[in-house]
Structure 1
């Protein structure tokens, strides 16, 4: 397998373009060392991986998957088509002065991730396989090699007994080999533990065991989603499309390169590496941190002493997110705080569960970011004061993508401000999602809008479209739930509270 850092050559993206790691070829025993070497050149940058591989060494694939997860990288199945110089070309100067040795575009058509490759793929934080890409599995083939060894042993007879003085290997000859095409119990146990570690269902292992080594079982997109092998139904455009870089916050794999910039020194890894330690994993971004729930109190001086409070929900919806939200709500007792969501999407089943929980508790929701006053809860040493964080809510730059819409649909009142971004695409599990939206009294047009962007680019919905579909309950923004003056209205909203004293004991912990 060859690794290279690639910058998008799509027309019109410069000077701010997405970059990714192209990973193409067979996974071999030395591949993890090559990948580690490449990561060490990136200085902590988190670039998604675009992989195209027929498979290869199982142990190496497991190592790669763990390295990908440790460094919190996203992954997609795709082929990188290079423009100008490519990694196999010697002394190519076409890209000199452009700030990057390799440029190209990523395409899913005909791309594959087969055999051992899905084990590597499982390590991604976000994992996508487009409609025109292939992911397949089969039984593991184990090769046993026989060797004929000849030893020379020197001994002497002492008191009638043989005493060995030395034994030396004289020759080693190949005595043939044989293969087995069914995984042993030990291998099955190891793969099962790995998939569980990566949050992937055991159904993947069942399909592997049921498919002969001479065949490949291509897994359908909906099945991949059910098995949690992919985190959403989308294409690699989600990670490499040129239009992603103007978003705020800007994705981590976008980089602005001024003209006439000196080329990057290391972008292609093929040679054997020197042993160096892997780069430390950088802090999480909203794209890859699991959804975090904290209770926040408005910090605007206009509201004191009676200020609004809300639940900030930021990050990717993970399998345990609904459980964490339930735990926090139970700690709050009967208080009904609105939920302010900023999320790129995530686990569909968890989003369904979170949405139903929000409806069950009678909570309002809005799409917005929480700007924390003193410190961000994600940083070490940042603790709430009296059980509460302080902050303000902001529409600008907030987003609700993919499965996030399912979670938002559970709100009693649902607001998406003019400066927030609301994007949808098909997320699979059509029957479950359709039934859920009907249950939440969302118009059928919303489901149609989701399906119209199947497996491809996100479709951004306007405020007018959201109201037309019955998704939002009004034109208001998050300020209707968290604004500084709402506590002066009558009747007073449920989420307003006068703190009893400066050092009063908090009613509920604020972080899960």
Structure 2
């Protein structure tokens, strides 16, 4: 028989579902406990299933005497780990990390915007990391730039409340670091510059999915914009089973068992299962949180209506209607270099005197006390710098069996526009004499006056422009020790990876023919200097539609091919192949950028096979 001495294991948090019990079996004759036979039996019961485990003697004596030691195996139900996802948190990628970043935009020093970069999966320990970050900031209030696939719902709610309690703004975006990266150890390039990390916030490829919108809801001002991705779906509740093995030691005194100690000796994962139905308790909790944050309940309804196996992307107008965002603008409203020219100066702008930039700071200094900025000029000039690589111009020749030896050539223009860009373009044009080669443009933007000057030079030389990336074959301009044969590199154009944003469309407007294919990226936004930009576009004979589109968008707006054509920014929606494709040199009359290369030169220019 089994004398049911019943114990229960309490989980780390509230156990959902019926508890599991274990039973230890012992002889009904209590005298046997004092004089055990050669082999004792311990009964172990897990979820009502009993098994007999033989207990052996040592040197024909019970080895546990005078105390009995029982090893009990128990399969227990752990706490339901809530995660708005279709996989465990660990499967969503690296955990979220927080970094204080200072803008590296040219021309913003000594007063530049700063923000908290939050990238990665929301885990159960993320709120503790965020609390530690806030402690280093003291009274400073920096906006958060977040991109996250989701993670723990409970942790996202805690983060949202911490953000609201500290009255912080938040926007969906990514941070591209320059100089030191978060993964670098003992990084030196940024020493003495007044900040540990420098970078640029941008929206392309940024996302906030699953549990992340709950974190976003905590912001005072909340920005997503048209080109970041925000998605919701049903919550997944994961139940995890844990197998515990523990040792209980007790002594029998006067026929009564007295427990001396109970100790867990092993803990193993015994599997898990998930449910995709939101419980009434969870629904009530989320509804209360959204109401607390001032966000409409339509967010919760959309979550419930979207299966966990898919994701529902919220359109900008829907986010506004749900009050999930407070403005249609993007994260640029928080991090753009020109925000520090506003009056009053935003709280995330910090002045670093020139003397402080020259003097190295200790590695553990994260932030300094903010100082008031100088009065803003009447018309700020915005500069968009993404990665610090200045625009370079190189001559490229197409490589294809369909065109050899008569192939198209073009000027590849890639990188950030600077004040030196017009001079560099002029130098290259002088080397090719009077030839009219098309310009294949790929740029995230940059210096606005530099873009207008380069655009005027392109119009002066009557050149065509297309947006695309140039992929080099064999030898490329970035490859050390690589020299272009005959002054021209060999390559192909790829409009799918091409971009032309911020100040770049101003340069594009200088082309006689301006082509942007359906797979290339084209974005416009207000960059200041409106009077000069308006006069420039009028000189380029570009209609008023482009100027209106630029003025109306404080954050970047991506233009589709039909809109770009309608407002006069482009003259056609063909891809760059219209100017660089292998077959164009068979046209009559032959385009000016076609050039015949002798067989000897072709053989010399062909990269060797490995």
- Normalised by the length of structure 2, the TM-score is 0.43
Q: Deviations over 1:395-447 (max 9, x none)?
A: xxxxxxxxxxxxxxxxxxxxxxxxxxxxx99xxxxxxxxxxxxxxxxxxx9xx
Q: Is the 8 A contact 2:157 2:214 kept in 1?
A: yes
Give the conservation status (yes or no) of the 8 Å contact 1:50–1:76. yes
Does residue 77 (structure 1) correspond to residue 176 (structure 2)? The answer is: no
Give the corresponding residue for 1:346: none
Gap runs ≥5 in structure 1:
270-423, 426-444, 459-512
Runs of 4+ that moved beyond 4 A: 151-160, 264-269, 448-452
Equivalent position of 2:188 in the other structure: 93
Task: Spell out the pairing of 1:11-50 with structure 2 (5 A cutoff).
Answer: 11-50=106-145
Task: Give the match's secondary structure for 1:245.
Answer: helix
Q: 1:7, 1:17 within 8 Å by CA — same for their partners in 2?
A: yes
Residue 202 of structure 2 is aligned to residue 102 of structure 1: no
* Distance change (3 Å), C-alpha of 1:256 and 1:151: closer
Q: CA deviation at 1:149?
A: 2.8
2:339 aligns with 244
Match of 2:298 among 197, 203, 227: 203
Aligned to 2:259: 165
RMSD, matched Cα: 2.8
Secondary structure of the corresponding residue to residue 354 of structure 2? coil
Asked if structure 2 preserves the Cα contact closer than 8 Å seen for 1:129 and 1:235, the reply is: yes
State the shift of 1:165 in Å.
Answer: 3.1
The residue correspondences of 1:259-278 to structure 2 (distance < 5 A) are 259-261=354-356, 262-263=360-361, 265-266=363-364
> 2 CA distance for matches of 1:126 and 1:108?
17
CA distance in 2, matches of 1:95, 1:451: 34
The number of equivalent residue pairs is: 282
Per-residue deviation, 1:42? 1.1
Alpha-carbon distance in structure 2 between the residues aligned to 1:266 and 1:112: 30
Instruction: Tell me the distance in 2 between the aligned counterparts of 1:183 and 1:86.
Output: 40
Q: Secondary structure of 2:106's partner?
A: coil
Which residue is 1:453 aligned to? 552
Greater relative contact order (Cα 8 A, min sep 6): structure 1 or 2?
1
Could you say which residue in structure 2 is the equivalent of 1:181?
276
CA contact (8 A) 2:111 2:340 kept: yes
Structure showing greater Rg = 2
CA contact (8 A) 2:333 2:554 kept: no
Deviation at 1:191, TM superposition (A): 0.9
Contact (CA 8 Å) 2:222, 2:325: kept in 1 or not?
yes
**Change beyond 3 A, Cα 1:10–1:451:** closer
> Is the contact between residue 61 and residue 119 of structure 1 (CA under 8 Å) also seen in structure 2?
yes
Matches within 5 A, 1:428-447: none
Match among 326, 330, 338 for residue 235 of structure 1: 330
Alpha-carbon deviation of 1:265? 4.8
Residues 1:172 and 1:41: Cα distance change in structure 2 (over 3 Å): closer
CA contact (8 A) 1:136 1:218 kept: yes
Alignment of 1:299-310 (within 5 A): none
Contact preservation (8 Å) 2:249, 2:259: yes
* 1:243, distance to aligned residue in structure 2 (A): 0.9
Q: Is the 8 A contact 2:157 2:215 kept in 1?
A: yes
**Structure 1: distance between partners of 2:152 and 2:120:** 12
CA drift at 1:263: 3.5
TM-score, normalization: structure 1?
A: 0.51
Q: Secondary structure in 2 aligned to 1:36?
A: helix
Cα distance, 1:172 vs structure 2: 3.2
SS at match of 1:86: coil
Alpha-carbon shift at residue 214 of structure 1 (Å): 1.2
Q: State whether residues 136 and 366 of structure 2, in contact with CA within 8 Å, keep that contact through their aligned partners in structure 1.
A: no
1:248–1:452: structure 2 CA closer, same or farther, 3 Å change rule?
closer
- Equivalent residue, structure 2, for 1:217: 312
Contact kept in structure 2, 1:26 and 1:54, CA below 8 Å: yes
Q: CA deviation at 1:174?
A: 2.5
* C-alpha displacement of 1:454: 4.4
